[in-house]
């Protein structure tokens, strides 16, 4: 009787060992962590981007497009929203103008072609040097050289730059453009048919 009880104990122990080890089978996977365990991985960091508005030209639109500005030769300067990773700051007109001008002077000629918009500025050589602010007065320092393909291209390019600056300058601020160190006078002369 004692031998039988020992045999039962040995068999019970053996069955318990087999059930715990799975008898060579794959072990049962551990349960997936629940949300309460705080084991979620944070999303990968993405580049911070901001929206800015620049102006493209819609030929023969005569100011009919929404929010557009009529420019010479019956065209429109049309605002388009695009993305910048520059030092854009919607509350800082200096940073905003820098970002907007950098975007517009680096755009390709056909970037908005699908919307029937042109970018005559793409064929010009313009760089932004700096933007100075004194109170509400801003001075945008631009350098470069214009090579216009006709008299209608002059008001188009001028409107692209000036409307882009005006939009980024924020309400209450005024601006002048210093062209190649010659101030606003040199800027105005660059678009004049007179020498």
Asked if 88 and 102 touch (Cβ cutoff 8 Å), the reply is no
Rounded CA gap, 113 and 4, in Å? 93
Q: Give the best-scoring range by mean pLDDT among 10-19, 34-43, 179-188.
A: 179-188
Helices (H), the chain: 2-21, 93-105, 153-168, 183-190
pLDDT of residue 7: 44
* Closest-CA residue to 59 (of 36, 75, 45): 75
Top mean pLDDT of 26-30, 73-77, 79-83 is at 73-77
* Residue 166 confidence class, pLDDT cut points 50, 70, 90: very high
Instruction: For 95-142, write each residue's pLDDT tens digit.
Output: 899 999 999 999 999 889 889 999 999 999 999 999 999 999 999 999
Whole-model pTM: value is: 0.72
Rg (CA), the chain: 34
What is residue 70's three-state secondary structure?
strand
Q: Where are the domains of the chain?
A: 52-190
């Amino acid at each position: 009787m004692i031998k039988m009880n020992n045999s039962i104990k040995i068999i019970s122990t053996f069955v318990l060992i087999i059930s715990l080890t799975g008898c060579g089978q794959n072990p049962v996977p551990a349960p997936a962590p629940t949300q309460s365990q705080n084991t979620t991985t944070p999303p990968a960091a993405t580049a911070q981007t901001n929206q800015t508005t620049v102006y493209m030209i819609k030929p023969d639109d005569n100011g009919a497009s929404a929010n557009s500005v009529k420019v010479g030769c019956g065209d429109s300067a049309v605002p388009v929203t695009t993305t910048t990773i520059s030092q854009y700051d919607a509350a800082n007109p200096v940073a905003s103008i820098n970002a907007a001008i950098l975007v517009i002077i680096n755009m390709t000629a056909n970037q908005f072609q699908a919307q029937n918009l042109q970018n005559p500025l793409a064929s010009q050589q313009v760089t932004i040097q700096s933007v100075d602010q004194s109170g509400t007065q801003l001075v945008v320092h631009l350098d470069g050289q214009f090579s216009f393909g006709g008299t209608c291209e002059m008001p188009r390019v001028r409107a692209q730059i000036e409307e882009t600056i005006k939009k980024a300058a924020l309400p209450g601020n005024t601006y002048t453009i210093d062209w190649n160190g010659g101030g606003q006078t040199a800027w105005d002369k660059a678009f004049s048919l007179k020498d």
